[in-house]
């Protein structure tokens, strides 16, 4: 492939094609995530289509929540196949973590909803809620004075 080939790009052209600033490419180069394919006679960084695809994969991994350290670890793997296989595995692990966090958040939401319902009225209030409302500072009524729950003094 000749450097005059249109598939060869200088850093600004690669950055534009990927939708990132040139400084991002320079940072990725310093971090060992991306390397220019070669340099022109004038010393410009020159990248090929494989560099663009690798850059897109790095950005995809970041948008999916992987850190640059994760991406670096993946990029240290030999061969394109190893990189993409490892990235798929890391993304699957990340997805599992997100699913677990979502389950935890749904459980937290349910408990908050129960507490809101409990504190909204004292009629038919379970013992736990009555005990809680009896320990509120003077002037606080369950469900009537939100400042009691935000750490502010009742008005």
CATH of the domain at 22: 1.10.1660.10
The DSSP-derived string for 4-73 is TSTT-EEHHHHHHHHTS-HHHHHHHHHTTS---SEE-TT--EEE-HHHHHHHHHHHHHHHTT--HHHHHH
**Does the residue 34 lie in any domain?**
yes
Domain presence at residue 145: no
User: Are 20 and 40 within one domain?
Assistant: yes
Mean pLDDT estimate for the chain = 78
Give residue 141's pLDDT band: very low, low, confident or very high (50, 70, 90).
low
Are 25 and 84 contained in the same domain? no
- At 108 the pLDDT is 92
Least confident range from 38-47, 115-124, 127-136, 139-148: namely 139-148
**38 DSSP β-pair partners:** 46
Q: Is residue 57 part of a domain?
A: yes
Both 84 and 54 in one domain: the answer is no
Q: What angle do CA 135, 139, 143 make, to 5 degrees?
A: 75
pLDDT on residue 114: 82
Residue 72 domain flag: no
Residue 86 lies in a domain: yes
* Structural domain count, the chain: 2
Q: Give 99: exposed, middle or buried? Use CB within 10 Å, 0-12, 13-18, 19+.
A: exposed
Tell me the pTM: 0.58
Residue 116: domain span? 77-136
pLDDT tens-digit series, residues 73-101: 887 775 667 777 888 888 899 999 999 99
| 127: in domain | yes
Q: Are residues 56 and 82 in the same domain?
A: no
In a domain, 149, yes or no: no
C-alpha 71/C-alpha 103 separation (Å) is 27
> What is the per-residue pLDDT for 71?
84
Boundary (domain end) residue, out of 65, 91, 112 = 65
């Amino acid at each position: 492939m000749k450097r005059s080939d249109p598939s060869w790009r200088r850093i600004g052209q690669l950055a534009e094609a990927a939708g990132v600033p040139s400084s991002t490419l320079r940072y990725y180069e310093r971090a060992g995530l991306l390397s220019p394919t070669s340099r022109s006679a004038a010393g410009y960084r020159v990248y090929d289509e494989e560099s663009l695809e690798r850059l897109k994969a790095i950005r995809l991994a970041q948008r999916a929540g992987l850190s640059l350290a994760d991406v670096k670890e993946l990029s240290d793997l030999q061969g394109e196949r190893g990189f993409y296989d490892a990235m798929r595995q890391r993304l699957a692990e990340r997805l599992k973590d997100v699913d677990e966090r979502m389950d935890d958040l749904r459980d937290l939401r349910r408990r908050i909803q129960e507490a809101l319902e409990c504190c909204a009225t004292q009629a038919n209030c379970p013992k736990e809620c009555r005990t809680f409302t009896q320990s509120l500072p003077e002037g606080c009524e369950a469900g009537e004075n939100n400042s009691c729950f935000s750490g502010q003094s009742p008005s």
